[in-house]
Amino acid sequence: MDINAVKTNAKLVAEEWKEQVTERQQRTELQEDDYNQLKSINIPLLGVPQEFGGLWQDLQSTGSSICEILRILASGDPSVALSSTMHQGVLSPWRSGKVTEEYREQWNAQKAEVFQTVLEGSWWGTIVSEPGSGGDSGLTKTATKLDSGLKYFMTGKKHFGSGSGRTSYMTTRAVPEGEETPDIFFIKVKDIPWDGSQGIQLDNPWRGRGMRSTNSHAFTFTNFPATRIAWPGHSAELMASNGGLGPVAFTSVITGVVDSAMAHCRENLQKILATSPKLKAFQEVHWTQAEQEYWLINQAMKTTLETLKDGTSDRYNSLMLKEAVANLADSILNRLCKLTGGTAYTWYSPLGGWLEDVRALGFLRPPWALAYEQLFNMSINEQ
């Protein structure tokens, strides 16, 4: 079992999914079969360190491979790829946390427990976002009551929980009783009904304009059991320790969608040109500009993956990549829809669905306003 085998198998899975694009774009729910297919090619093990039986070596070698694999999978089904991305991301604190001596024993025990759940077949996700927080988890209001040790009960509203129903565990943030700063927690959600009888109430099922089958539902939690991260009070360090992998992983998913859209249009244009001598000037200009923007995305992705590989990746670069690609991908899909004509506006073409899918990137963490605030501050104060 190695990462190259996962990549090869991911290509086969994506090819199969591409054939089903029309039906997949109509879906509004994540299918268990798709997650099982990902499991059969060892996708969940990508985020588990080798010493615990997984495939993760370090950020340099495994981080960039994860991004390449996500890009491949997203070219087949963006919703499945995006929701499974959360799994790799949320395991990062336990992969990289360098905790102080005082906490080492309980940290090592928790780490072993977390990775063991994945080996036993559990998917992880995250439900950090809170309505009205603007994507800033530092503004988390969800409260907790201490039970004992690292065990708490949490109460609060959360939304955008991608993978809900398919995940067994989710990370989140909440304010520990008696403290002011939110910390990282995880919750076991497997087989818990969503009717409020055991502390989880489904407020709104996901109805995304794009990424329609990510199951990113909204819930209210009431006195729901939650386990605090075993290195309390260090959430900022732990969240930063993934070296900017999160935004690059999200961007890889969207780039996979652009790959499929460009290939789809190129094939259509070649077919048209085989029988008619010329396209309209409008179509030629928009295609060529889409190509320019696609070239920029590919250059930016390549450079960013190189920085992950050589250990020079940083927050500024990965965030700039995410925001730049959010704009470029949106522009490309708009151009492809316009040059294709009216069919692109219907469900008979995949382009309109992909347009909505790529728009997700700007809303993913950190969403537009927060991302631009952070970029502005970094550009003025740190560059």
Ligand X SMILES: Cc1cc2nc3c(=O)[nH]c(=O)nc-3n(C[C@H](O)[C@H](O)[C@H](O)COP(=O)(O)OP(=O)(O)OC[C@H]3O[C@@H](n4cnc5c(N)ncnc54)[C@H](O)[C@@H]3O)c2cc1C
Q: Which residues bind ligand X (CB under 6 A)?
A: 86, 125-129, 131-135, 160-162, 208, 211, 214, 216, 360, 363-365, 367
Closer residue to ligand X, CB minimum distance, 239 or 279: 239
Identify the DSSP state of 176. Answer: P
Closest contact distance (angstroms) between CB of 85 and ligand X is 9
The answer to whether 70 and 253 have CB atoms below 8 angstroms apart is yes
Q: Output the smallest distance, CB 121 to ligand X, in A.
A: 20
By beta-carbon proximity to ligand X, the closer residue of 107 and 206 is: 206
Closer to ligand X by CB, 162 or 349: give it: 162
Choice between 292 and 327, CB closer to ligand X: 327
Q: Which is nearer to ligand X, 211 or 329 (CB)?
A: 211
Give the whole-angstrom CA distance, residue 123 versus residue 374.
31
Least Å from the CB of residue 167 to ligand X: 9
Measured from the CB of residue 99, what is the shortest distance to ligand X in angstroms?
Answer: 24
Contact by Cβ (8 Å): 127, 158: yes
Q: Please report how close the Cβ of residue 28 comes to ligand X at its closest, in angstroms.
A: 13
| Nearest CB to ligand X, comparing residues 54 and 135 | 135
Distance, in Å, from the CA atom of 203 to the CA atom of 339, rounded to the nearest integer, reads 40
- Nearest Cα to 356, choosing from 55, 7, 107, 25? 25
Q: Which is nearer to ligand X, 345 or 363 (CB)?
A: 363
Phi and psi angles of residue 255, each rounded to the nearest 5 degrees, phi first: -65, -35
User: DSSP of 100-118, one letter per residue?
Assistant: -HHHHHHHHHHHHHHHHHH
Encoded amino acid at 130, one letter: E
d(CA 304, CA 310): 10
Closer of 110 and 126 to ligand X (Cβ): 126
- Find the shortest distance in angstroms from Cβ 30 to ligand X: 12
Give me the residue label for tokens 């499974």: 84
How much of the chain is helix, strand and coil, in % rounded to 5?
A: 55, 15, 30
Tell me how crowded residue 20 is: count the other CB atoms within 10 A of its CB. 12
Whole-number minimum distance, CB 35 to ligand X, in Å? 14
Buried b or exposed e, range 89-117, using 16+ CB within 10 angstroms? bbbbbbbbbebeeebeeebeebbeebbeb
Distance of alpha carbon 119 from alpha carbon 45, whole angstroms: 7
Q: Which residue, 3 or 326, has its beta carbon nearer to ligand X?
A: 326
To ligand X, the closest distance from the beta carbon of 364 in angstroms equals: 5
Q: 48-69 in b/e burial notation, b at 16+ Cβ within 10 A?
A: bbeebebbbeebeebbbbbbbb
**Cβ of residue 164: shortest distance to ligand X, in angstroms?**
8
